[in-house]
Structure 1
Amino acid sequence: MDKLHLDQHISHQFNKELEDIRNKVLTMGGLVEQQVTNGLTALLEADNDLAAKVAERDYEINMLEVEIDEDCTQVLAKRQPAASDLRLVVTVIKVITDLERIGDEAEKLGRFSRDLTQMSEESPSYRKELRHLGELVKSMLQDSLDAFARMDVDAALAIAQRDEDVNREYGNLERLLGTHLVEDPRQVSKLFKITWCARALERIGDHSVNICEYVVYLVKGRDIRHTSFDKIRSEFLNK
């Protein structure tokens, strides 16, 4: 298992600064996870109060992104980090951007859930399909953050491959919704909103993959974006 150790500096204060930044990212990740869980629950259970709570808490994620970004800027200015330290700061900046965007997708789930509860219940809700897709995405997000916390390349690569399952489920749901739209065009508004919810979940999966890719960059110094998994497997997994 490949990991990175960040406690090798002569300056204990520098160690503390890097560890504080890392812990703030994990705090932000925990909040984002909760937002995704609440957004999905609000959607599946038509819980308007919970949906409103998701919308209200989005600002907390935004504030954390700004705070961590400022901490990274201060480290770059004061410490002029190199090698793995510089990769950590760059990785954190990238990770918090994806976490903020996941928060936005969770907020969409809450917003669309409120819209859907005001519509007729005569059309299919596709709750079963949305729940399955949502559980896949939630597990990817949780595990990608765990891989980041442990700086575990093997886990990150395995998690990223699960995006294929998310894409498959998303495609199946899209086809079901498209078929129903042809059969009953009167439901176009509701079906589009359900599609947007599914798209939000699929995007959360994509952002989780990004986090996994950043873990590889952090530990290995290798940018694997836009690289096929066959090549990645042969380069890392078979060593």
Structure 2
Amino acid sequence: MTTVPALTERRSPWVVFTSSSDPWLASETAALVQRNGLVLRLDGREMRDPASVFRTFARELSFLGCFGHNWDALVDCLHDWHGPGHGDQDLAILIEHADDLLTSDFLGLFVSVLAQAAWNSNLRLDADGEPHEGRQRFAQHFLFLLDRTAPVAFTEKAARGRDVAVALSDGRLLVTLTDVDWPGGDPASAPWTAGPLSFADEEIRSGMTLTAIKSFRDQLGCSIHEGLDIVRSRSAFLRGEGAGN
């Protein structure tokens, strides 16, 4: 099943990893601007740790001085943004040159936070899952643009984020939220696979690489090479987890 993200629609995927040369990117951002939406560009090379993530977002999106420089505050400021020129316009935030974020230890949390902010902006639901009166919905999506790294390489790390589910489609990595705490989102079923991607851990630990690859192919619908990339990433995580015990 193919899932095509849309920056002009209030639906998931909330976060997309794709190549900076993806023709879909040019088409969707042009359509968004044509509809009076905003496209903001941040430099992923500046985001070396959580503190620099907060500084970059605060500076480029002109957060108010009360911004708390933590993950919860980032969610709040993104879905209740009052930056220059913003009047409930649809918004796409592009994190360019994002390749080096693959080595960060906060990527899963970062992705989950962005997805939570987008869920809030797009759906505006109250605690009962009903539309929130008096709050305008607007499309908000986040894109990680990669210059030299295949999006699939980010799959395992992104899927570690809280309540995150992932899908691979047309060479892109797509992210949504699936938990019951996020009504109106997506079910943890095809094409989505809820993280963390631990279902092949036993095979990976036992050195059964081909079996592990098959598990990822069955779950994610990925190619053999993509499955191998995910196995390698998961294997590195499991080795680190073991070293920490």
Q: Same fold (TM over 0.5)?
A: no
Pick the structure with more helix per residue. 1
Structure showing greater Rg: 1
After TM superposition, the score normalised by the length of structure 2 is 0.25
Pick the structure with more strand per residue. 2
After TM superposition, the score normalised by the length of structure 1 is 0.25
Higher relative contact order (CA 8 A, sep 6+): 1
